[in-house]
Amino acid sequence: MKQTIYIGADHAGWELKEALEDYLKEKEYRVVDMGNENLVNGDDYPDFGYAVAKRVATDENAHGIVICGNAQGICIVANKVKGIRAATGFNKEVASSARTDDNSNILCLPGRHLEVKEAKQIVDAWLNTEFSGEERHKRRLQRVHEIENQEFGL
């Protein structure tokens, strides 16, 4: 079995979440659904973005996928959790660079703006891309860590 993927979505991303969950399981990932388990119109993305981010932050070998209408709100929430580097992936190239350059550990998808086929391609690109480890990217991520820990003086 491959790595663990924590996944969560509000009502605007629920159908895409369900499709991606099945797809990832077919690819032999361990998928943990952090909700919502059922389609509930009017539910709130912060609940699911936070739940995924907390799990990813405590499981260094895991990644997360979160989905809301435009991906931005749930991405903002996920990035509130220390140790999370959530990035919006609206196409394969952006998703790949979020891994290569920023070592993102959560992918945020816009449920209202992606077809399932396109989302699968984005997820594949993101999961199959490794962090480059280039010195400039390491340096930048270290600065992010310092800011996160309020150790960086501007």
Say how far apart CA 67 and CA 136 lie, in whole Å.
30
68 is a catalytic site residue = yes
Q: Which of 68, 75, 95, 107 is catalytic?
A: 68
Say how far apart CA 129 and CA 28 lie, in whole Å.
17
Contacts of 97 (CB under 8 A, 6+ apart): none
Work out the end-to-end distance of the chain between its first and last CA atoms, rounded to an integer number of angstroms: 44
For residue 7, the cross-strand partners are 33, 65
Q: Contact 52/8 with Cβ under 8 angstroms?
A: yes
Which residues are known to be catalytic?
Answer: 68
